[in-house]
Structure 1
Amino acid sequence: MRTISLAVFTPKDSTKTNRPAFYFVHGGGQVSGNRFAALEAVMAYLDDVEAVFIAVEYRVAPEHRAPAALHDAYAGLVWAAENASRFGIDPSKIILGGGSGGAPITMGSAMLCRNNQKKYPCALMLLTPMLDDRDCTVSSKQFARDGPWCGTTNRMAWDHVLGTERRGDVSELVAPARATDLRGLPPTFIDAGACEVFRDEAVAVASVMWKCGVSAELHIWPGAYHGFDMLSQDAPVAKVSTQMKTSWLKRTLEARERELAAASAATLE
């Protein structure tokens, strides 16, 4: 049996037993990074929210090809939900989020939860998401050699993740942009820079979500490159981007609280 490592951060002075949780899958193109990568920037989205933050350590390529990372992240999520009471978490208020190379693992985990009829996550956050192995979008050509993460680097990363299977019969759980039926996924936040390789696949996935009746909030930030909100935090567009993420998290959790209260009231009647 494989051991999955999780980093769990709880509010210092909270005694609540029904807190929300943010389960985070780190970026790094699925080939690098660890559970502590970019934590400061992502945890800042929850500054005004009394929540538990969980980050998962997953195996990276090329040493461990897909779906190893997906299996690790999903197993950690299931464990966190099943042991929620240990950390004062309400499992019906788990938000699943991932950035860049963590986003396909995040979305794949959400799809597995749907397929396995889990009651979590209650929401999904995909930040500058790496979702398509096929290298077939306009933005993947426009930014083939430009930016901190360009199309050339992206193709190399997918080659490491998929090996000889790349652009062949790849599972939609591994490359979620291939999915055509996203019914049953929770409310989702998606964003990307207008000047990065992932722009068009972010738009395409949001479009499929809307077509399937999923509530999706999409932001394409003008003039922004991959990782702009972490590499240029003082830029006006980066500040607005951070504010939008925090706003969405608060609104989503408030809506979830109303849903749970309504469900509880209906049960009592």
Structure 2
Amino acid sequence: MTEKRIALAVEYDGEGFCGWQRQPHCHSVQAELERALGQIAQEPVTVYCAGRTDTGVHAAAQVVHFDTSLDRPLRAWSFGVNSHLDRRVSVHWAAVMRPDFHARFSATRRSYRYTILNRATRPGYQAGTLGWERVQLNEQRMHEAAQVLVGEHDFSSFRSAECQANHAIRRMLRISVHRVEDRVMVEVTANGFLHNMVRILTGCLLAIGRGDRPVDWMADLLEGRDRTAAGVTAPPQGLCFLQPGYPVEFGVPDFEAMKATPWHP
């Protein structure tokens, strides 16, 4: 039988998982998804993702792909797989892709959102999905400071010591900071990200939003290329990988657009 390349969009709550990547000593989202896919395929399945997430980080539409020679309806790879998944993980859609599609290497951009609860009292029932800052933040200052990051730069100041990337050059396509009631959201789109990059730059923006640092501090950090000069790394709970973007010829559904479309059974 001819092999087919199947793509999935996967949503998950990162709390309780040791990140996306399969590891021998703990339970990962990748291992959970591969286990459920194996139940449907009745054979081992290996998936490849658009962007690995760290422990505690969430995803709204992580895109993955795998190859199979099995003849299964697409509902089996979505609804069927969901029936075997941990309740914190869910497949949104499944699609047959061109054989040259690759979830990681075909992606031209990736988007993240960091959500900060900005009030005096800590979060309760949403504690696992929010960062928290008790000091009143000035989101306008944060947004202004962030705009220096747009474009292609060396982001060495915003990569962790454990980062294994060959270089720190990335192209930031957009970054915005805005408030919705008591939540301040940092939204970032780039061609790629370094290890802990969004959490580090969010930590720096928090210092600016609190008034601890001037607006032009972000420009100084970018130019200095020194991680030790940057702020603390924001905790993982508030970070969500929204979705990757692909060239239109691959026909990958846009999850943000899908959410705005009325549902029909």
Would the TM-score normalized by the shorter structure come out above 0.5?
Answer: no
TM-score norm. by structure 2 comes to 0.26
TM-score norm. by structure 1 comes to 0.26
The structure with more helix, counted as a fraction of residues: 1
The structure with more strand, counted as a fraction of residues: 2
